[in-house]
Amino acid sequence: MNVNPFATLATGFLLLVCSGPAFAQTRGSALIPPPGSPFLGGIPDRSPTNEPLTLSISDAIHRALDHNLGAIEAEGGLEHARGTRLIAFSDLLPKVDATLSEARRKTNLEAFGFPLGPGFPRVVGPYNVFDARVTVTQTAFNLSAINDARAEGHNVAAARLSYRSARDVVVLVTANMYLQVLASAARAESARAQLTTAEALYTQAQDLKQGGIIAGIDVIRAGVRRSMDRQRRTAAENDFEKAKLQLARVIGLPIGQSFALSDQLPTIPFPDMTLEDALARAYRDRPDFLAAQERVRAAEGKRAAAVAEALPSVNVNADYGAIGLTRGSALPTYNIAAGLRVPIFQGGLIRGRVLEADADLRRRRAEAEDLRADVDYDVRSALLDLKATSEELQAANEARQLANQQLEQSRDRFAAGVANNLEVIQAQEAVTLASEQYISSLYGFNVSKALLLESLGTAEEAVQKYFGGSTP
C-alpha cells in the first residue's frame, strides 16, 4: 500500500494539538456552577410566543439578569441586609407611642398602702379614669447600639457588592452557555457536512466497484464510515438541542418557547496591560473581594458592639397627656425621666458574645486573605490562558486547513485508483478531529476572555460596553 507523506504529516500535527479540547473543557468548567446552584435556574417569563425568538448574546444576558434565580436570590439578600440595618439603627432613634384609654374602676385602697381607720371605706368606686398620652423614649448614649448599627451598615455594603458579584456570575454563566450552544451548533453543522461527504464517498465507491477499479471491501469500508458519521450527526444534533434547553432554563425563557441564536459575536478587545496593572485593577474592582473586606469591617463592628455591652448606657423617657375622671374634666400632665444603666453582672452573657464575635472576626479575616490570594491566582491564570488559547486557536486553524487538503488529495488518489479508500477514511477522521479541535479552541479562547473579565471584576461593565444595553 502506498503511504501519503502529506497525510502522515497532517496526522502528526493533529496529534500534537489533540490535547486542546480537554484544555478548553477544563477552562469552561470554571464557568459552570455546581449542581443545585441557583445560577442554573431561572424564573420562566410569560407564556411562549407563537413566533420563534432570535436571541443575541446581549439579549440572553439581559434576560438572565432579570430572571436568573441566582440574581433574584442575591437581590433578596440585599433587601434582607437593608432590613436588618434598619432594625439595628432603630435602637438609636426615638420611639414615639400614643395611648388612649378610658376605664371604670373599683379600687382597694389598702392594697396601695393606704390603711384607713374605722369609718373609712377600704374600697372606693366605681369611678371613671380617662387618659390620653404620648410617650417618647430616646437612647441618649449606647455605644453597643452605635457599633451594631455601623456593623450592619458594612453588612449592607457587603450585600450590595455580593449582589453585583452575583450579576457578574450570571453574565459569565449565560455567556458560557451561549458559547456552548454556538459550539454545539458548529459541531452539528460539521457532523452534517461530514455525513454528506461520507455519502458522496460511498456512492463513489459503488461506482468504482461497478467499474472494476476497486475491491468490494472498499465499498463496505465506505458504508461503515457513512453509518458512523450518521450516528455522529444524530449525537451532535441531540447535544445542540440539550444545550439550547439549558440556556433557556438559565435565562428564564417561557416554557416551551422556541428560539434561535444570532451567530455573530462582537469582538471584545482587551487593553494592553501588565500583570501589575491587572492585579491593581482586580483588587480595586472585584466585587467579591470588596465584599469580603466589608464583611471584615462588619465583624469588627460586631465585636466592638459586644465589648461595649459592658459599658453604661443612658436613656431618656418622657410622656405628655391629659388624665381625669372624664374627657371633659381631664387635666394635662407630663413626666420626664433620665435613666443610667450600669451592667454589673450578666452571668457570662457579655463574655460569651465577645468570644463569638472574636471567632467570627477571625473567620472573616481568613476569608478575605484567602480571597486576596484567589484574586492573584485568577488574574495570573487568566492572562496565561488567554495567551495559550490564542496560540491554540491559530494552530487549530492551520490543522483544519491541512486536514481538508489531506482529504481532497486522498479522494483524488482514490478516484485515480492509486490507493484504496482506507487512506480516504483516515483523512475523513483527520478532518473530524481537526474540526472538533478548531471548535473547542475557539470556544476555549472565548472562555478565556470571559475568565479574564471575571478576574478583573468587570464582566457586567463589559456587557454594557460591547454588547449594548444598560445595567443598573
The fraction of the chain above a pLDDT of 90, given in percent, is: 46
12: confidence class by pLDDT, cuts 50, 70, 90: very low
Identity at 329, one-letter amino acid code: S
Q: How far apart are CA 361 and CA 300, in angstroms?
A: 6
Model confidence pLDDT, tens digit, residues 122-134? 888 898 999 999 9
CA separation for the pair 307, 358 (Å, rounded): 10
Evaluate if residue 18 carries a pLDDT over 60: no
Cell numbers standing for residue 267: 469582538
Helix axis angle, 57-67 relative to 69-90, nearest 10°?
Answer: 40
Average pLDDT over residues 99-106: 92
Rounded CA separation 397/407 (Å): 16
Q: Given this model, what pLDDT does residue 1 score?
A: 37
Distance (Å, rounded) from C-alpha 230 to C-alpha 443? 24
Q: Which residue has the higher pLDDT, 366 or 471?
A: 366
- Grid cell listed for 425: 477514511
**pLDDT for 111 beyond 50:** yes
Contact 286, 457 (CB under 8 A): yes
Residue recorded with cell 449606647:
142
Predicted pLDDT of residue 19: 43
Rounded to whole angstroms, the Cα distance separating 372 from 292 reads: 9
Coil, helix or strand at residue 32: coil
List the domain boundaries for the chain: 5-92+146-307+354-467, 94-116+123-141+311-345
- Number of Cα atoms under 13 Å in the Cβ half of residue 217: 3
The pLDDT tens digits for 253-276 are 999 889 998 866 666 666 678 889
- Per-residue confidence (pLDDT) for residue 270, from 0 to 100: 62
**For residue 185, is pLDDT > 80?**
yes
What's the pLDDT at 110?
81
144-174 pLDDT per residue, tens: 999 999 999 999 999 999 999 999 999 889 9
User: pLDDT, tens digit, for every residue of 25-83?
Assistant: 555 555 677 888 899 899 998 778 888 889 988 889 999 999 999 999 999 999 999 99
36: region left, alpha or beta (phi > 0 left; psi from -120 to 50 alpha)? left
Dihedral in degrees, nearest 10, Cα atoms 339, 345, 346, 350: 100
User: What DSSP state is assigned to residue 137?
Assistant: E
User: Tell me: the pLDDT tens digits for 293-306?
Assistant: 999 999 999 999 99
Least confident among 67-71, 135-139, 213-217: 213-217
What the block records as the C-alpha cell of 25 is 473543557
187, 189, 191, 194 alpha-carbon torsion, rounded to 10°: -130
DSSP state of 34: P
Q: ω before 343 within 30° of 0 (cis)?
A: no
Backbone angles phi, psi at 331, to 5 degrees: -115, 145
More confident residue, 439 or 235: 235
Q: Tell me the percentage of the chain whose pLDDT exceeds 70.
A: 89
Bridge pairing between strands 259-261 and 313-324: unpaired
Residue-wise pLDDT for 427-466, tens only, equals 888 888 888 888 888 888 888 888 888 888 887 787 767 6
Q: What is the CATH number of domain 5-92+146-307+354-467?
A: 1.20.1600.10
Spatial separation of the C-alpha atoms in residues 177 and 173, rounded to whole Å: 6
Stretch among 17-21, 188-192, 215-219, 252-256 having the lowest mean pLDDT: 17-21
- How many Å apart are CA 40 and CA 67, to the nearest integer? 11
List, for residues 401-422, the tens digit of each pLDDT value: 998 898 888 888 877 777 767 7
Smallest CA-to-CA distance from 334 within 135, 140, 138, 139 is with: 135
In this predicted model, what pLDDT tens digit does every residue of 84-101 receive, in sequence order? 999 999 999 999 999 999
pLDDT grade for 7, boundaries at 50, 70 and 90: very low
pLDDT the model gives residue 271: 60
Is pLDDT at 16 greater than 60 in this prediction?
no
Kindly tell me if the per-residue pLDDT of 13 is higher than 60: no
pLDDT of the residue at 34: 81
The average confidence (pLDDT) of the chain is 85
Confidence of residue 4 (pLDDT cuts 50, 70, 90): very low
- Given a contact cutoff of 8 angstroms between Cβ atoms, the answer to whether 369 and 358 are in contact is no
CATH topology of domain 94-116+123-141+311-345: Outer membrane efflux proteins (OEP) (2.20.200)
The whole-number pLDDT of residue 466 equals 66
